[in-house]
Amino acid sequence: MDTYNENENTTVEVNVAKRSFFERHSTVIKMFVIGFITLLLLIPLNMIESLITERKMTRKKAVEDITSKWGSEQTIVGPCLVLPYSETIVDGDKKVETENYLLVLPEYLNIQGSTAVEQRRRGIYNVSLYGVDAVLSGEFDMSVISKYNVPTSRLKPDKMQVILGLSDLKGIKDKVILNVSGRQTEFEPGLQIESLATGVFDIFMTDNSYSDEAELFSAGLNAKLDSVDNTVQKLSGKLPFSISLKMNGSYSLYFTPIGKTTTVGLKSDWATPSFDGSFLPESRSVTDSGFVASWKVLNLNRSYGQVLNAYESESINKMAQSRFGVKFIQAVDQYQQNMRSVKYAILIVLLTFVAVFFIELIKKKSVNTLQYLLVGLALVIFYSLLLSLSEVCGFAWAYLISAVMTMAMISIQMSSILKDVRQGLFVGALLAFLYLFVYILIQMESYALLVGSLGLFAILAVIMYYSRKIKLL
């Protein structure tokens, strides 16, 4: 009996020795080949990411084409009272007299407005456009000028004017009339202040996918106060005002809290607002028919005073950064969600390959390298389908349709290769679980990292459990 065992063992050893290196290490070699295919699929995945960016920029151009004719994002600045004064500058041996300007901000500013939002389409792209009807009222306190370090003798109250900063003058729909102390003055285009600093701030599209810089006083209106009463001539007392403003804009509407006390009331028929900026509404009500919001900002809440030098860029920048308002955004941003889903693509590819590889080893089935490559390409094409469909029917429906199509194709393919329908359905069910898991992660914000980490830990635990029975040699 012992002799028989020795002969048998000897025979096995001889047979193993006769096998080539590739035959003896075929499992390990295949693991490396699968890993290489996985890395190779990063190339088309990167191409899809570039495609998403390209489609995003195409959308940007379509949006800009519409808004350039209607009116872009609007930021209302003002009104501000502009008071010229003379200043003597020593240039070598000479004294040169120049003219500068003080910006006097309102003692209080009340803005009441309403917006009507509509959707315009350019090809497959939608743009949120609005028309706003607003009334700006308040009062200038002329006595605050005395607190500024400018001699009264250098002030030129006869050249005072009121300026109103607007982002895009193309959006103005009607004459803008300034009512000051019972007298009406019509605004003219342009700010006409040579030394006026322009505060810089960031603007974002509705999907926050790209940003740009804009200037606070890049454009605006001016109204000259040619005749002023005795109270104003003495630079004391109050100067009440009111302005009626009708204009168009797109995407968002912002205000600047330039009043010592600034109150804003806004109502709209848009049901999905996004309140943005340095200050959130004091109260708001959002329903399916629209929203109503109100803000209240004090001078104590910001870092600039009621009287500024027009050339003080630091103060104007602070004014720009203090703006607040609302974005009229779409409820879903498909490009951002597409980009986030692609980030998880390599995970789905890798786990699918691991599942098929385990089926090979445990069930003694054979899947050639070409089939792995074809399955990987199917998983990559899912993201191309997702992008194209999301532009037409929204991200949620696009994700469902693309996932079902991909799972059906791979399940049928694996059933045919493995000669077992149950194994093919198992691969399809695995894909369903992975796609559902990724979709949940995409929808989550604060807990995406936590849930993703726990999910990956659980998946790794399952892989480790089933890998116990696998022999590589």
Taking a C-beta distance cutoff of 8 angstroms, is the pair 187, 222 a contact?
yes
Q: So what's the pLDDT on residue 201? A: 58
- pLDDT higher for 341 or 94? 341
Please report whether residue 360 resides in a domain. yes
Please report whether residue 65 resides in a domain. no
- Whether residues 194 and 149 share a domain: the answer is yes
- Whether residues 322 and 341 share a domain: the answer is no
- Whether residues 291 and 398 share a domain: the answer is no
Among 42-46, 62-66, 89-93, the range of highest mean pLDDT? 42-46
Please report whether residue 223 resides in a domain. yes
Please report whether residue 125 resides in a domain. yes
- pLDDT higher for 427 or 332? 427
- Whether residues 40 and 91 share a domain: the answer is no
pLDDT band at 361 (very low <50, low <70, confident <90, very high): confident
- Whether residues 95 and 162 share a domain: the answer is yes
Phi, psi at residue 229, to the nearest 5°? -75, 175
pTM: predicted TM-score of the whole model, two decimal places: 0.69
Write out pLDDT tens, residues 400-433.
Answer: 998 899 888 888 888 888 788 888 888 888 888 8
pLDDT band at 110 (very low <50, low <70, confident <90, very high): very high
Provide the mean pLDDT of the chain: 78
Boundary-marking domain end, from 303, 331, 359: 331
In which domain, by residue range, is 345 found? 21-54+335-469
Taking residues 187-206, report their average pLDDT. 68
pLDDT band at 123 (very low <50, low <70, confident <90, very high): low
Q: So what's the pLDDT on residue 208? A: 46
Boundary-marking domain end, from 268, 300, 331: 331
- Whether residues 115 and 132 share a domain: the answer is yes
Please report whether residue 59 resides in a domain. no
Taking residues 103-122, report their average pLDDT. 85
Taking residues 193-217, report their average pLDDT. 60
Q: 66-75, 118-127, 312-321, 346-355: which has the minimum mean pLDDT?
A: 118-127
pLDDT band at 386 (very low <50, low <70, confident <90, very high): confident
- Whether residues 170 and 197 share a domain: the answer is yes
- Whether residues 231 and 356 share a domain: the answer is no
Please report whether residue 314 resides in a domain. yes
- Whether residues 201 and 346 share a domain: the answer is no
Q: So what's the pLDDT on residue 203? A: 59
Please report whether residue 434 resides in a domain. yes
Among 28-32, 171-175, 238-242, 261-265, the range of highest mean pLDDT? 261-265
- Whether residues 379 and 450 share a domain: the answer is yes
Boundary-marking domain end, from 288, 311, 331: 331
- Whether residues 233 and 370 share a domain: the answer is no
Please report whether residue 67 resides in a domain. no
- Whether residues 308 and 421 share a domain: the answer is no
State the total domains in the chain. Answer: 2
Q: So what's the pLDDT on residue 306? A: 82
Geometric angle at alpha carbon 452, from 448 and 454, rounded to 5°: 125
